Structure formats: C-alpha cells, structure tokens
Structure 1
Amino acid sequence: MSPHALAVDDEPQMLSIISFALETQGFTCATAPNTARAWDYMRAHRVDLVILDVMTPTGSGIDLTRRIRGAGSHVPIILLTALGDEEDRIAGLEAGADDYVTKPFSPREVALRAQAVVRRTLPAEEHRSLSLGDLRIDSEMQRATWRGAAISLSPTELRVLTVLAAHAGADVAWRDLLNEAWATSDAAGAHDMIKSTVYRLRRQLERAGMDPGVVQSVRGRGYRLSIPS
C-alpha cells in the first residue's frame, strides 16, 4: 500500500507542487487549505505523513502539530518554514515535528525528506528489541517501557532513544546520531533539531519515572545513555 500524505498550505500552487513531488515518489496525497480542514481530514482518514506550513492566515502549523501529538498520534510531521525563521523551527520541533524544510525549496527535496521521514518509522532490523536494566525498547511495536510501564514517545524520540541504547555507555557523536536517527548527514540546523529532541526525550523519560540524567550530554561531542544495572 502506498504511503498516504496530507499537505496543508493556504496557497493552491504550493499544494499542487507538493502533491506532484510526492506522487512522483509513490505517495498518494490529499490536500487541505487550512489547519481546521486538515484536522477534520485526519480524524476521518488514515494519514502516514503530514506536511504543513508553519503559518497560514487561518491557523498555526505549530498549534496543529501540538494538537496532533496531544491526541496521541505519532504520524510523521514535516514543517515548511521561511528562511531565517529559527524560532519557528525550534518551536515546531519542540511541539513534536520530525523535520522541517526551509522555503524556498525544491520539490525533489520535499519528496526525499518525505521518503526519509516515513522510512524512519520502520524499525531497523538490528535494533528491533533492546533491554537495558528496567528499560525495554521494542522498535517493531514502536514502544518503550520502564519497569513495565509504557513511555509516551514520538517516533523521533523513540529512534533517538534506540540509537543511544544500542550504544549504551558509549559516546554517540551528534553526527552519528543524526545519521542513524534521522537518516541524513545534512548538518543544516542539526544541532537545534537534536537538542530539541533530546530535551523532549528527557522530559518524557522523567514523566515515566526515570532519571532524565540517564541521557547525558558529552560536551563538544554528543550524547551518552547510562542506565543503572
């Protein structure tokens, strides 16, 4: 079955460009002119990917991202942001977006990023099941537990935790984390993206009863996961 995407933008021409780019890469694509219509569509249809503009005249893409995550959905989300809007990019990532594309962009870039973010939701063969003390990660089932209780994580947060767990006790350079968790070596904006994701991951671990300090920052290098035995 082809992955089904939802593109959200108030400009019809932009929706046509995104739809065409995705369809040439094997997606089916629905469109919505605003966030309200997008939310209604998502409530009635299966969606494998959402691409939405950060700001439209009728609503914020960041607010919609928060609403999607608040409803418990882990659907991959790519935000479209204007060049130089670093605050919007960070806010979007903190709200739960998986990636962003800066305008102006090429249709091919959007399609390739869409393929990558959907592909990342598939479990890696070598990391399907990991156990570290009371932490259990089942990538095939897209879930992690601490002392038997589920940890609420987005797909991106789960991927980062999985990569760190696969190298538990060792430093994971931020470039390696970018390559393994995001399937890209594009360093543009990577530090902010990784920091925002690690911040959210720590917060979710703490909510599950874990010490958020198990995800340690390694100055000038990256991160390390240290789980007490």
Structure 2
Amino acid sequence: MTGVVPPHALVVDDEPQMLDIVAFALETQGFATSTCGTSEAAWTSFREHRFDLLVLDVMLPYGSGLTLCRRVREVSDVPIILLTARGETSDRVAGLENGADDYVTKPFHPRELALRAEALVRRTRRQAPPSGLSAGPLRIDERGTTSVSGRIVPLSPTERRILARLMQADGATVPFRDLLLAGWQQAEGPGTRAMLKTAVYRLRSHLVEAGFAGALEGVRAEGYRLHADD
C-alpha cells in the first residue's frame, strides 16, 4: 500500500505471539501498527488516536472483542476485522451483528490477513462516488456521510457499500451475488446469505431509526431492492 502516510492499524489480542504475527504481517503490507492486549486498553488507545483499521480477537480478557466492536461502532465507522477461533456461520453472523466488516478464522495465513486488511481499507477509502449518491430522502455525500432528510445515519463501511449498490440500482432488485461483491468482494458460498441478511437487517434498522421505514425490501430467491420514494 503506497502513500506518504501509511494506514494505521490497531491490533488487539491477548496472546503476545499473535500480536507479533499480525502486526508483522500488516507492516509488510505497508501499515503502521499499534497493539493492545485487553479490550479496555484498546478502547483507551482508540479514543486517543486515529486508526484506519481495527483487528480484534473475539476472545479477550475483561471484555470480548464483540463488545469492543459494538462499542467502537457506536462512535466510528472505522473498518473492523474480527479474529475468531471458530468458523461457524453463527460466529460470523455475531460479528456482523456487532458491526464488524470482515472476519478471519484462526488458524490463518498472515499474508491472507494482510491482503484482506489492505483490500478493506482500500474499499473504504474509495467507497463514495465522487459525485455522491441520492435516492429520495437518502443521500451519500462525497465524504461518504449517509443521511436521511439531513439526519446522519451511522453505518459501517460494509453497510454503506451495500446501500450504495442498492441506490445505484434505481429501485431495481439487486441480486445476492452483486451485494456480496459490493460488501465483501466475495462470491456466494456457505454462510454468505446469512452474512448478507445480517448486514441488511442492521442497515434496515439504521434507516428505520432515521425515519425511512420500509425502504428495504427482500425479493424472495433474488436479492434486495430499495424503495427510494417511501
């Protein structure tokens, strides 16, 4: 990853060896890294510094990575990758429900993690079209800020990419495959429909809270569509 200022990643894991492995992998891919061993130390560091990426282990002492993920997501849309020791769909869905953008199952290849981290940060940085997007009262501006009739809607980068793809469809149904590619650059596979369903559920909840109820519709066996005139 090139640039005058490298992206800054915060890596959180209670195993020193794992911290070293992840930090080294990210640094070889052009990241600057900071590390923490507990959720509270990570929260303090997050509040004191600006990060472009968080890599959080799910199992942390004195508070889980899922709780920390949810806590961060309440105040920031920084990209988040969760490290989990299990690969079941329920664990992946739990991560997305708490606002994570991606997950990596242990054991993993450090190079793969670093490449996925780079891709996530790159997608996040270019997520908003230069001219912005509008659909009824819904808008994503040039900075990536999402709003409904001027009211800011807090979305994760993944949720925002999915919403942008739906807005670009101008009311047409967007297939599951296209939404997976927009959100994660991932084709359909085991558990991916559940991941997408969870992300859309969170996105719908955010829009309802902003006064845009009924905006998202699931089209059975096909995908989802956006009703911009609701």
Superposition TM-score, scaled by structure 2 size: 0.91
Partner of 2:164: 162
Task: Give the fraction of aligned pairs with identical amino acids, expressed as a percent.
Answer: 54
Matched-pair contact (CA < 8 Å) for 1:54–1:88: no
Instruction: Quote how far apart the aligned CAs of 1:122 are.
Output: 1.7
Instruction: Quote how far apart the aligned CAs of 1:208 are.
Output: 0.5
Matched-pair contact (CA < 8 Å) for 2:19–2:35: yes
Q: Deviations over 1:130-187 (max 9, x none)?
A: 222222221x312122222222222222111111000122121111111123233373
1:156/1:18 Cα in 2 relative to 1: closer, same or farther (>3 Å)?
Answer: same
Q: Give distance in 2, aligned partners of 1:132 and 1:56.
A: 41
Partner of 1:34: 38
Partner of 2:120: 117
Structure 2 gaps of 5+ residues are: none
What one-letter code is carried by the residue in structure 1 that aligns with 2:216? V
Q: Give distance in 2, aligned partners of 1:167 and 1:80.
A: 33
Instruction: Quote how far apart the aligned CAs of 1:128 are.
Output: 4.1
1:179/1:128 Cα in 2 relative to 1: closer, same or farther (>3 Å)?
Answer: farther
Partner of 1:60: 64
Q: Which residue of 14, 22, 26 corresponds with 1:10?
A: 14
Partner of 1:198: 200
Partner of 1:51: 55
Q: Which residue of 106, 113, 125 corresponds with 1:103?
A: 106
Matched-pair contact (CA < 8 Å) for 1:25–1:111: yes
What one-letter code is carried by the residue in structure 2 that aligns with 1:220? A
Query: Does the residue aligned with 2:170 lie in a helix, a strand or coil?
Result: coil
- Of 152-161 and 197-206, more deviation after overlay is shown by 152-161
Does residue 174 of structure 2 align to residue 172 of structure 1? yes
Matched-pair contact (CA < 8 Å) for 1:143–1:158: no
Instruction: Quote how far apart the aligned CAs of 1:124 are.
Output: 4.4
Partner of 1:83: 86
Does residue 215 of structure 2 align to residue 214 of structure 1? yes
Number of matched pairs: 226
Matched-pair contact (CA < 8 Å) for 2:216–2:225: yes
Structure 1 gaps of 5+ residues are: none
Q: Deviations over 1:102-127 (max 9, x none)?
A: 11111011111101211121234756
Q: Which residue of 66, 72, 77 corresponds with 1:74?
A: 77
Q: Which residue of 135, 153, 158 corresponds with 2:138?
A: 135
Instruction: Quote how far apart the aligned CAs of 1:58 are.
Output: 2.9
1:27/1:201 Cα in 2 relative to 1: closer, same or farther (>3 Å)?
Answer: same
Superposition TM-score, scaled by structure 1 size: 0.92
